[in-house]
Structure 1
Amino acid sequence: MPRWRALPEELDPEVREFTEQLRRLVERSGLSIGAVADRTGYSKTSWERYLGGRLLPPLGAAEALAEATGTDVVHLSTMWELAERAWSRSEMRHDSTVESARIARARAALGEFGPPQAAPETAAPQAAPHSARAGGRPGAVISEPLCHEVARRAAATEENPAAGPAGAAGPAAAAGPSGPAPRPPVPDSPRPPDYRAKAIPADAPAPRRRAALFVTGVVGALLVVAAIVLLLGVGDGAGGGPGSAPPLSSPSVVLPAGVKCTGAECSGKDPEAMGCGGGRATTAGSATVGTSYVEVRYSRVCGAAWARITQAAPGDAVRIDAAADGGVPARSESGKVVRDADGYTPMVAVSGPGKATACAALTSGPEGCTVARAASAPAG
């Protein structure tokens, strides 16, 4: 069964060539995907996507692979730049295609409803013999009871001009001591336009007041939220910067999910069981001893380091030595390869990546120790 799956057919030729080059580097090195992930600091899942052509690796991942496999970094970086440009062009074409498809679907959906149809004209209702039209507007028919009320108020105004229009005082003002006055007979002709206009109530300003109160409430809530965010932001800046390593003993540090120790608490414990390995660790020093590869693995979040050996044989020994630091005496932990070709030691607490050295002693005779180097940023 082949190790690699076929690359996607729609892959750009330059991206395909770059991905095939990455596969050849991994093949020549003899490393597994897990070993590539450990040496580069990028997760195994990420490398499966990179080598499968589903995702273009970042430049840092390509450079880390070149360093782990002994390849010219400049040559691989040049190929990455060409692949990155091709990848960006492909994404732009894809975005344009998706946008065109969305527009076509929207137009099709709108076309299903068809052009707006005109509402059928309805015949104006026939007015009763005593009905009148308000203000001469067509279609605004006043019902017969309303005509009676308008006529009654008009008659009351004519009898008492000082009282003003009856519509201003309301129905209760026109009622006498012994109840409402009897309705006068409705004349055959409609009342003057001014009385009909007063029968239609004016718009009330209440909706505007409600809208203003709503806007004021929203602005006040936003101000409260902004004040809370500012207060929380000030509190977050009280500690050290995000790049500072935890001290050798820091019980008050809030650890990320899955990390179970920090500083001196990690000494003598398994890095994988404590959540310090994987993407939370970087290589702080490395060396080739015989046919094996030994390195110092350092976890900033745990404040600890350990030694790891790969491409080894059962019985090969590995050791991590931490120099004395800040009154803390020198520390050392050892391990052996039992069955597989890989092995690692328990952790020792350190205050930085350059405070520890890993050494290996092979059963075949060669021995050697690592050379310190700057730890690369761990993969997200």
Structure 2
Amino acid sequence: MSAWKALSGELDPDVRTFVERLRLVIDRSGLGVVAVVERTGHDRADWDAFLHARRPVPRSAVVALSDITGADLGPLTAAWEHADRAWKRLLRERAVAEAGPTPDPGPPPGPARDGVRDGRRDPEGVPDPRPGPQDAPPADRTLRIRKVVPPAPAHGPTMAPAPDPAPAPAPDPDPAPDPAPAPAPGSVPRKPRRATPLLYAAGIAGAALVVTAAVLLADLGGPGGSAAPTAAPTPSATTVAPEPAPSLPDGVRCTGADCGGQDPERMGCGGPLATTVASTRIGPAFVEVRYSGVCAAAWARITGAAAGDEVSVQHGTAVQVANVPEGGDTDAYTAMIPVASGAAARACAMLAGGEDGCTGE
């Protein structure tokens, strides 16, 4: 490493570790930078920027360097992923610093509440302490009992008939009474027994009481009344406690079916949480099946490709597809599909030149 120019002390530790690993791979291969430039297809200026940490290294350069030197691609790829995230984080921080802070417009003015508007007392907003119509006590709903006037007799308008001054004598129940004995001389003759007027009055009063009781029972909701039935109490709803969500590592935002169609890097499923479970080379492109056990999902990745090349991952009827965009990028990866294990998924690629193939073939 003594032949290399010393790296800046302000570098991110992940970037420094990755660049030093690249230098070590080149030193151990014995090829030199010129041979690396000729065999990887990247310019000398690009490799100078890569090996001195002045520019992010594309994944295609890492794959090409692994192919020509025989270095293990797994550890080299893992170090590249950490460095790539560090570069992206640095670029975002630079963009925010160049944009400058956004001025705070302050809280918007709100409506007056309880006589206070925008922090100042509004004398016209003081609530009136006098009770309004809404403060009036509820109406008295005391049950009112209706008086019932007993029916008047047919021979007079008064509530109770006056006693008959000359009632007819009660008939004698005996059809053939014995003749009354003659009164003794000097005795006063006995008058015949007549029905007393109090009996008539008592009968009429009893009938009036019966009618009054019947009316009261109807008003109070008794038999035959119209009182509203009492509503049955509403049964209380049973609250079902939700099942606790599974705990995920810091930065991981989905697992299983929730990861379907999601970006693995954005959901925190890539990096050290992902491994390459299957791979193949199709022409100049390298195709991999990437799997994360924590997220229980897989995706496909292609490197060393050209614009217009297509890569896909599939499991059963679930398929996700991605294309290599224009603009110099030579790698791409698909969204995730949920799988129980990485062996259940396979990755396929179709190159713009007509070549195609899949892992596991």
Which structure's residues are more often helix, by fraction?
1
- Fold shared, TM-score > 0.5 on shorter chain: no
Which TM-score tier does this pair reach, normalised by the shorter chain? 0.3 to 0.5
Q: TM-score, normalised by structure 1?
A: 0.36
| Higher Cα Rg, which structure | 2
Q: TM-score, normalised by structure 2?
A: 0.38
